[in-house]
Amino acid sequence: MVLKIDNVTKIYRNGRGIKDVSFEVNEGDIYGLLGPNGSGKTTTMKIITGLSRADKGDVQILGKAVKDGGENSMEQVGCLIEAPAVFEYLSARRNLEIAAAYYPNIKAPRIEDILKQTGLLDYQNDKVREFSLGMKQRLGLGLALLSNPKLVILDEPANGLDIEGMVDIREIILKQAKNNGITFLISSHLAHELEMICNKIAVMKDGSLLATATMEEAMTQGGNLENFFLQTIRSEKEVAQ
C-alpha cells in the first residue's frame, strides 16, 4: 500500500471542507478523485502533502503515519497542486536546477531526462513566462517527477488545457506509470479524462467521498465514468431524502 487515508476530516471556518474521507491507493494504481469544484479534492490532497492539517483522521504514506513522523515519506512523493510552483522569470532548466538542489542525489543527467520526458528540451532556455499554459503544466509535472518519487499527486493537471495539452499530460502520466512504476493520485472534474487513464476511482461531492470503485466496476455499472458519477450522486440524494 502506497497511501492510506482513514476517516480524515477538515472543516474550515465557513463550514466547508471534507468529512470522514477514507480510501487506499496501492502500488501501480492511477487513482482518480472525481468531483466538481468545491467537492474537497484539493483539501484532501493538501492534507496528504502536509500543506494543511486535518482536524481528525490519519494519513499513511508508504506504511508510515504522517502524524508519527511519516513526513520523511514525503521524500518519495512528488506533487502538483493548484498551479506549478515555478519562477516565471527563469528558464525551464533553471527551475529544475533550483528544485534539484534540494535533493543531493539528483545530477544534471536527470534534469536532461525530465526535459526530454516532458517535451521541453527544445524550450529549456526559454523564460517560463513565455510558456503556454500546457507547457507550464508539463514543467510542473516535470518538477513533481524530478526526485524519482514512488507516488505523484496531481490536482486538476488538465484544467484549462486545450485538447493537445490534455493529451500531452495524459501520455506523460501513462508512460511514467508503465515504464517507471510510479503510482498516481489525480483529481479532476473531467470524467472523460480520468476514464482515459485511471484504474480506480473515487467520487467526491460536498466534502464527502460517496463511492469508490475500480474503473471496470464503474464502466460496468454506468457504461462510462460520467454516468457512474451521475448515478452515484443521484443515489446519494435519494438516500438523503
Q: What domains, with CATH codes, occur in the chain?
A: 3-82+149-240 (3.40.50.300)
In this predicted model, what pLDDT tens digit does every residue of 101-143 receive, in sequence order? 988 888 889 999 999 999 999 999 999 999 999 999 999 999 9
In this model, does residue 5 exceed pLDDT 60? Answer: yes
* C-alpha to C-alpha distance for 134 and 24, rounded to whole angstroms: 30
Share of the chain above pLDDT 70, in %: 95
In contact, 161 and 133? CB cutoff 8 Å: yes
In this predicted structure, what is the pLDDT of residue 240? 62
In this predicted structure, what is the pLDDT of residue 82? 79
In this predicted structure, what is the pLDDT of residue 230? 96
Mean pLDDT of the 221-234 span: 96
211: which residues sit within 8 A by CB, 6+ positions away? 202, 203, 232
How far the first Cα of the chain sits from its last, in Å, is 37
CA nearest neighbour of 99 among 56, 142, 48: 142
Mean pLDDT of the 209-225 span: 97
In this predicted structure, what is the pLDDT of residue 108? 85
In this predicted structure, what is the pLDDT of residue 12? 93
In this predicted model, what pLDDT tens digit does every residue of 38-74 receive, in sequence order? 999 999 999 999 889 999 999 999 988 877 555 566 7
In this predicted structure, what is the pLDDT of residue 73? 66
C-alpha grid cell, residue 199: 484504474
Cα–Cα distances (Å) from 18 to 3, 4, 10, 24, 183, in that order, read 18, 16, 5, 16, 23
In this model, does residue 150 exceed pLDDT 70? Answer: yes
Mean pLDDT of the 65-87 span: 78
97 in helix, strand or coil? Answer: helix
CA nearest neighbour of 86 among 98, 74, 78: 98
173: which residues sit within 8 A by CB, 6+ positions away? 30, 141, 154, 157, 184, 186, 197
Mean pLDDT of the 72-77 span: 77
Between 215-222 and 225-240, two packed helices, what is the crossing angle to 10 degrees? Answer: 80
Mean pLDDT of the 10-39 span: 95
Between 108-117 and 92-100, two packed helices, what is the crossing angle to 10 degrees? Answer: 130
The mean pLDDT of the chain is 92
